[in-house]
Amino acid sequence: MRVAVLSGGRSSEHEVSVNSGASVIRGLEQAGHEVVEVRIGRDGGWMAEGAAVDLAPGAGLLGADVAFPVLHGAFGEDGSLQGLLEMLDLPYVGSDVLSSATCMDKLTLKRLLAGQGIPQVDFVAVGEAGWRERCAELGTPLWVKPSRMGSSVGITRVEDLSALDAAVETALRHDPRVIVEASAHGREIECSVLGNEDPETSMPGEIMAHAEWYDYEAKYGEGGMDLAVPAPISEIETARVRELAAQVFTLAGCAGLARCDFFVEPDGTVLVNEINTMPGFTDTSVYAKLLEAGGLSYPDLCDRLVGLAVERHARARSYEF
Ligand X SMILES: Nc1ncnc2c1ncn2[C@@H]1O[C@H](COP(=O)(O)OP(=O)(O)O)[C@@H](O)[C@H]1O
Q: Which of 259, 287, 304, 312 is catalytic?
A: 259
Residue closer to ligand X (CB basis): 149 or 309: 149
**Under the rule (CB under 6 A), what is the footprint of ligand X?**
121, 143, 145, 149-152, 155, 181, 183-184, 188, 213-214, 261, 273-274
Q: Which of 220, 253, 307, 311 is catalytic?
A: 220
- The rounded Cα 210 to chain-centroid distance in angstroms is 22
| C-alpha to C-alpha distance for 19 and 283, rounded to whole angstroms | 10
Omega of the bond prior to 141 within 30 degrees of 0, cis? yes
261 included as an active-site residue:
yes
274 included as an active-site residue:
yes
**Smallest gap from residue 179 Cβ to ligand X (A):** 9
| C-alpha to C-alpha distance for 281 and 67, rounded to whole angstroms | 15
Residue closer to ligand X (CB basis): 24 or 155: 155
Q: Which secondary structure element, helix H or strand E, spans residue 180, and what is its range?
A: strand 178-182
| C-alpha to C-alpha distance for 32 and 12, rounded to whole angstroms | 32
95 included as an active-site residue:
no
287 included as an active-site residue:
no
**Smallest gap from residue 161 Cβ to ligand X (A):** 16
276 included as an active-site residue:
yes
Residue closer to ligand X (CB basis): 73 or 91: 73
Phi-psi group of 101: left, alpha or beta (phi > 0 → left; psi -120 to 50 → alpha; rest → beta): alpha
Residue closer to ligand X (CB basis): 88 or 164: 164
Q: Where are the beta strands (DSSP E) in 196-288?
A: 200-201, 205-209, 225-228, 256-264, 270-276
13 included as an active-site residue:
yes
Q: Which of 65, 78, 190, 261 is catalytic?
A: 261
**Smallest gap from residue 295 Cβ to ligand X (A):** 27
Q: Which of 151, 192, 202, 285 is catalytic?
A: 151
73 included as an active-site residue:
no
* SS3 state of residue 122: coil
The residue at minimum Cβ distance from ligand X is 214
User: What's the CA dihedral at 9, 10, 11, 17 to 10 degrees?
Assistant: 20
Catalytic residues: 13, 151, 220, 259, 261, 274, 276, 280
